[in-house]
Amino acid sequence: MKLVVIGAVAAGTSLAAKARRQDETLEIDVFEKGTSISYAVCGIPYAVGGEVDDFKRLEPRDVNFFKDKYNVIIHTEVEVVEILKDEKKIVVEHVLSGERNIYDYDVLAFATGTRFHIPPPFNNQTFENLFQIKEPQTGMNVQNYIQKKNAKSAIVIGAGYVGLEMAEQLKKAGLDVSILVKSAQALKGFDLDVAKRIEFEMKKQGIVFHKNTKVTSILSNGESIEALLLDDDEALKADVYVLATGVQPNTSLAEQMGVKLGPTGAIQVNEKMQTSLEGVYAVGDVAEKYSHKTHLPIWIPLATHANREGRIAGEAITGGNPRNPGISGTSILRFFDLTIAQTGLTETKAKALGFDIEVLYNIKNDRPEYISSDKLFIKAVADRKNREFLGAQIIGTRGVDKRIDVFATALYYHASVDDLVNFDLAYSPIYSTVRDPIQTTGMALGNGLDKHKTILPTELDGDTFQLIDVRNPNEFQDGHIEGAKNIPLGELRKNLERIDSTRPVVVYCNTGVSANAAQNILKKSGFEEVYNLNGGFKSYIQSVKKKES
């Protein structure tokens, strides 16, 4: 049997290797338009900034490795230009010579990845100081230009993962950096109130963030960009411009063949990565995903998915019976001193899907204060109907990776908020508090589901609620929510007459712990409608983005 794979990065090479391990009789040919194969796309920004000391380290395997170890023939700088479906043949063109050849296949797999999303006015224009990041060579081009021109400033258009990573690395390389986005936030897949926290880090690091900003035209001398003209007529200048406005599934060849696309615009596949055509598979960023929780189609291009899907298809092609369980969209990013991660459903997505949800802001130390600690901000979502944990977003300086992976595992097994509380997690003060933030997240979500009402900072209305600040007077004096009354927790029982029991009450402290105790006191004292401010005053400052006194 002859297997042809189109594309030789993560998914294509993973598929070929798995198929060979399953069947020694296969003839396997892989075709790659570029010069690099099986490279670490996610490492490119770090090579630009010098954390990876050599771009060659992003390409640990070459065509000889796959030939020697797997007896897989990988053809580089060879583009598949046409598929003769009825004849089961492909037409390839050698990039350098233009020579064309025809290959037979019995099974065909698309691993064609993505193509750049290029918005106007950038489409169909090239400049020597405008760069996009996809292959190691593109990163080398940025680095070489900066060194050659002694560049001092950069503008990054886009604030997704690649945009933020490039902004970080360019700043660390000594450039003045600005970021432009047409939306209201960085990382559009996160909730807005979470993404706002990233803006504080930008300001701290000296990065200028232009949001709700559209580039209307490019001012150039023909060879290079001299400035970008914005919709408010401001002209922004830099030495280097990085276009990081996202990617789209590269489906053009599959569409010509008649392969069905899904609602996300990627190739529709089943649990074995089979497309709508018999004997044709699709894996990696070109293939549609589906949610492990909702089973609805989604599309998130990540290397982890690509590798797994390649193995699934390789096994299916060779007679196995694998099943793709779907994804939770788990991802993580370092941005200077922050680690930013998410898994599962956000508040925005859960509401859009019709879930009745409990939302939690949980601000906890990553380890005990006596050994030095940093705060973890966790925004978590649960289903009120069945108490099932739905997703989390985390921002912190340490320990984020551990927690997001535990949350992702909880999602895979459809854990409840009560399961989070009972997880038997490793403890040492070097790594965690006795009750890990994962467990306290489950406890707090459970409290909310058990009628211990919470309210989000963005939902506060001073005309409706009585605001009771239960912190000490010094903290209150340093800053508080306008209209709040200061009654420290230790004095609350003696001052109940200062609170109107006929009106709704919102109690708050710094992070929500003391306020939870205050809420219990008030409820036991006959107050019927008492809310704990979700995440406390610290969340209010960052979510509402103002400090009132």
Residues 380, 384, 390: CA angle, nearest 5 degrees: 35
Respond yes or no: is residue 42 known to be catalytic: yes
Dihedral (CA of 177, 183, 188, 194) sign: positive
- Distance, in Å, from the CA atom of 128 to the CA atom of 138, rounded to the nearest integer, reads 12
Cis peptide before 136 (omega within 30 of 0): no
CB neighbours of 183 closer than 8 A, spacing ≥ 6? Answer: 211, 212
Distance of alpha carbon 144 from its chain centroid, rounded?
29
Of the listed 42, 332, 517, 541, which one is catalytic? 42
Beta strands in 492-536 (DSSP E): 505-508, 530-533
547, 479 Cβ separation under 8 angstroms: yes
- Distance, in Å, from the CA atom of 288 to the CA atom of 301, rounded to the nearest integer, reads 9
- Distance, in Å, from the CA atom of 523 to the CA atom of 15, rounded to the nearest integer, reads 59
- Distance, in Å, from the CA atom of 390 to the CA atom of 357, rounded to the nearest integer, reads 9
180, 154 Cβ separation under 8 angstroms: no
Question: Residue 202 has which token pair?
Answer: 């930008």
Distance of alpha carbon 185 from its chain centroid, rounded?
13
How many CA atoms does the CB half-sphere of 524 hold within 13 Å?
A: 8
* Catalytic residue ranges: 42
